[in-house]
């Protein structure tokens, strides 16, 4: 049960992290020069 909960929490955190990364990446692209991104 503990392992199950741990893996479920991990999956949730992964999704949350992905969402944060997408938001930061979208807002960061406008500030950071395109040359560095490429």
Number of domains in the chain: 1
Residue with the bigger pLDDT between 28 and 1: it is: 28
Q: Which two three-digit tokens encode residue 34?
A: 């395109």
Q: Quick check: is 35 in a domain?
A: no
Q: Quick check: is 37 in a domain?
A: no
Q: Quick check: is 9 in a domain?
A: yes
Q: What is the pLDDT of residues 11-34, one digit of tens each?
A: 899 999 998 888 888 776 666 555
Q: Quick check: is 33 in a domain?
A: no
Q: Quick check: is 34 in a domain?
A: no
Domain that holds residue 11: 2-28
Q: Quick check: is 38 in a domain?
A: no
Model pTM score? 0.47
Q: What local confidence, expressed as pLDDT, does residue 4 receive?
A: 73
Buried b (16+ CB within 10 A) or exposed e, 1-38: eeeeeeeeeeeeeeeeeeeeeeeeeeeeeeeeeeeeee
Residue 37 and residue 29 in contact, taking contact as beta carbons nearer than 8 Å: yes
Rounded CA separation 4/28 (Å): 35
Q: Quick check: is 36 in a domain?
A: no
Q: Quick check: is 20 in a domain?
A: yes
């Amino acid at each position: 049960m503990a392992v199950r909960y741990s893996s479920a929490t991990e999956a949730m955190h992964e999704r949350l992290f992905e969402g944060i990364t997408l938001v930061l990446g979208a807002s960061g692209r406008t500030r950071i020069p395109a040359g560095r991104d490429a």
